[in-house]
Chain A
Amino acid sequence: NAGVTQTPKFRVLKTGQSMTLLCAQDMNHEYMYWYRQDPGMGLRLIHYSVGEGTTAKGEVPDGYNVSRLKKQNFLLGLESAAPSQTSVYFCASSYIGELFFGEGSRLTVL
């Protein structure tokens, strides 16, 4: 089983560039999440979705947008990347209280 798949796994951007991270899950989960992980800060919730066509803001939503057009996909967009968005991004889906994480996408903004 693929579980939760994130693409790309690595990306380097210049300040001001835009990009989209794709998350795909094959477990038919309703809930999906985007977190960012920074050293010494644990994981922080960026945006989440409780079903197809719905999105909501998490703890640190500024500078990011998301879309959930299909149940299995959850896209995270950066419209104008900033160095403060250098991080490791994790997508997750959940079922009955357990989060299933992807392997992460490491983004560097120069």
Chain B
Amino acid sequence: AQSVTQLGSHVSVSEGALVLLRCNYSSSVPPYLFWYVQYPNQGLQLLLKYTTGATLVKGINGFEAEFKKSETSFHLTKPSAHMSDAAEYFCAVSDSGGTSYGKLTFGQGTILTVHP
């Protein structure tokens, strides 16, 4: 069975500061890993994903994440926060199988607040 733990349900940063959102997972098979962002009253939007290959993955809006198998982690970072980054962020994992792509297990979410 898969599981995802996001450390910290709320993270607050100043504009221009580093953003670090933590995600640890467990999976019995090689995982596919995702970060999604949700703005108020909207659906989720894919930020980035790791399937195979390079462990440092770059996504939209300047975000990136690094897959560390030894630490079972997939932390999301952005060097400099912008006010528009304020949203809820979800880490998710799926089995690395074709029909499993959308059968994601989500973390509980981290609300990012950005202060001027």
Q: Please tell me if the beta carbons of A48 and B102 are within 8 angstroms of each other in the complex.
A: yes
Q: Please tell me if the beta carbons of B32 and A103 are within 8 angstroms of each other in the complex.
A: no
How far apart sit A40 and B10, CA to CA, in the bound complex (Å)?
Answer: 11
Interface string of A37-75 (1 = CB under 8 A from B): 000111111001010000000110000000000000000
Most buried by A among B42, B49, B106: B106
How far apart sit A102 and B23, CA to CA, in the bound complex (Å)?
Answer: 25
B51 within 8 Å of A (CB atoms): yes
A43 with B106, Cβ < 8 A, contacts A31-B99, A98-B49 known:
yes
B90 within 8 Å of A (CB atoms): yes
Contact among B32, B90, B102, B107 for A92, CB-based, below 8 A: B102
Please classify the interface of chain A as helix (H, G, I), strand (E, B), loop, or mixed, using the class held by over half of its residues.
strand
- State the interface size on chain A (CB cutoff 8 A): 26
Contact among B46, B51, B99, B104 for A43, CB-based, below 8 A: B104
Q: Please tell me if the beta carbons of A50 and B104 are within 8 angstroms of each other in the complex.
A: no
Residues of A with C-beta under 8 A to B46: 98-99
A103 with B43, Cβ < 8 A, contacts A40-B9, A43-B90, A97-B51 known:
yes
Given contacts A31-B102, A99-B104, A103-B42, 7 further A-B contacts (CB under 8 A): A41-B108, A42-B107, A42-B108, A93-B102, A98-B46, A98-B49, A99-B102
17 contacts between A and B (CB under 8 A): A32-B102, A33-B102, A40-B9, A42-B90, A42-B109, A43-B44, A43-B92, A45-B103, A59-B105, A92-B43, A94-B102, A97-B51, A98-B46, A99-B46, A99-B101, A101-B45, A102-B43
